Amino acid sequence: MSAIQFTNLSFSYQAGTPFAVEALRNVSVTIPNGSWTAVIGHTGSGKSTLMQLLDGLLSPTTGSIRNGQRQLQAGANRKEMAAFRQQTGFVFQFPENQLFAETVLEDVMFGPQNLGRTDKEARTDAIAALEMVHFPREDYKRSPFDLSGGQMRRVAIAGVLAMRPQTLILDEPTAGLDPSGQDELMRLIKTLHDQHRTILMVTHQMELVGAYADHVLVMNHGQMTMFGTPQQLFAQPQLLSDNHLKMPASVALGQQLRAKGLPLPETLPLTIEQLASEVAETLRRKQG
Ligand SMILES: Nc1ncnc2c1ncn2[C@@H]1O[C@H](COP(=O)(O)OP(=O)(O)OP(=O)(O)O)[C@@H](O)[C@H]1O
Ligand SMILES: [Mg+2]
């Protein structure tokens, strides 16, 4: 297993026509295997396009992508794109819109069946995936359209997991969920990451970047402007404002407290819990 490597990757929609739109320009970066990378940037910066290329849904206009043992080059044909695709699972924005089968189990079996696995194998994969997302067994025969929004999203994610992808791409996975639904989904993604999958997550929520990601990839007008850690990103206010990004509330509050004279540690508090324990510790030291 090795990393994901984008090399001089460019992509234009309707390339070679008068309607061409350049969506990505010369992106080169290596994403470590097993990492959790947040893909962030202003609307229209190229995040979804980059993820669709990694999923083999689009092929590069120029440059190439390597994922593990496979490579996708400019001009790849359908067959090469399909082979490249097998390594990734893509949870689209509002994935529940793609549910279609009569029962939950049939819906989740569709992906592995489509990869050529037998019905028996597909069933085993589907059940394993539904268990991963904690979907209750007694509801396997229900219509996916009778479920709550949160349950539908879990079924849709199980449909992707049933294909056993090594790399999991999620485009705005928490969009439209209430705070408890968001927490639950992030815990699920964390479990999947702990099982050594590489995660790429497009998000506009800097709190999630701080709390979960170990790497960040910042896009701006089709170019990559930064690849690093959340600590490195949130320590650069100018870079944040240039990219229309905010700090997580905990980082901003920590800075205000430091400005008021509270000697907090140099490392940024990436979550409210971390900030709270640093404040408590600092006050204890001050008193002691
Ligand atoms: N199917 C398409 N045809 C033509 N242009 C497109 C198409 N999809 C996206 N674009 C353009 O490509 C550029 C990158 O779009 P992309 O959807 O990758 O951005 P994004 O970062 O995912 O934005 P958002 O945060 O709004 O989801 C934008 O200029 C967009 O208008
Ligand atoms: Mg997008």
Q: Is 193 in contact with 230 (CB distance < 8 Å)?
A: no
pLDDT at 1 over 70: no
Nearest-atom number in ligand 1 for the CA of 21 is: 5
Pocket lining for ligand 1, CB < 6 angstroms: 13, 21, 23, 41, 43-49
What are the tens digits of pLDDT across the range 168-184? 999 999 998 888 889 98
C-alpha to C-alpha distances, 11 to 29, 47, 201, nearest whole angstrom:
15, 12, 20
- Among the residue ranges 107-111, 146-150, 234-238, the one predicted with the least confidence is 146-150
Distance (Å) from CA 23 to ligand 1 centroid? 7
pLDDT (0 to 100) of residue 150: 86
Distance (Å) from CA 203 to ligand 1 centroid? 15
User: What H or E segment, with its residue span, contains residue 276?
Assistant: helix 272-287
pLDDT (0 to 100) of residue 180: 87
User: Which residues have a beta carbon within 5 Å of ligand 2, which is an ion?
Assistant: 48
4-229: CATH architecture: 3-Layer(aba) Sandwich (3.40)
Ligand 1 probe mutation, 48, 203, 219, most atoms within 8 A of CB: 48
Residue with tokens 């997991």: 161
Per-residue pLDDT band at 286 (split at 50, 70, 90) = confident
Q: Is 116 exposed, middle or buried (0-12, 13-18, 19+ CB in 10 A)?
A: exposed
Could you give the CA distance from residue 219 to residue 108 in angstroms, rounded to a whole number?
33
What are the tens digits of pLDDT across the range 75-124? 999 999 999 999 999 999 999 999 999 999 999 999 999 999 999 999 99
- What is the chain's length? 288
Per-residue pLDDT band at 140 (split at 50, 70, 90) = very high
Domain-wise residue ranges, the chain = 4-229, 247-288
pLDDT at 2 over 90: no
Beta-bridged to residue 21, according to DSSP, are: 13
Could you give the CA distance from residue 213 to residue 201 in angstroms, rounded to a whole number?
9
Could you give the CA distance from residue 93 to residue 171 in angstroms, rounded to a whole number?
5
pTM, two decimals, is 0.95
Amino acid letter, 30: T
Q: Which of 28, 21, 40, 24 is nearest to 64 (CA)?
A: 28
For ligand 1, atom 6: residue with the closest CA = 13
Per-residue pLDDT band at 155 (split at 50, 70, 90) = very high
**Angle at CA of residue 25, ends 172 and 189, nearest 5°:** 25
Which residue in the list 22, 80, 121, 172 is annotated as catalytic?
172
Residue 172 annotated among the catalytic residues of the structure: yes
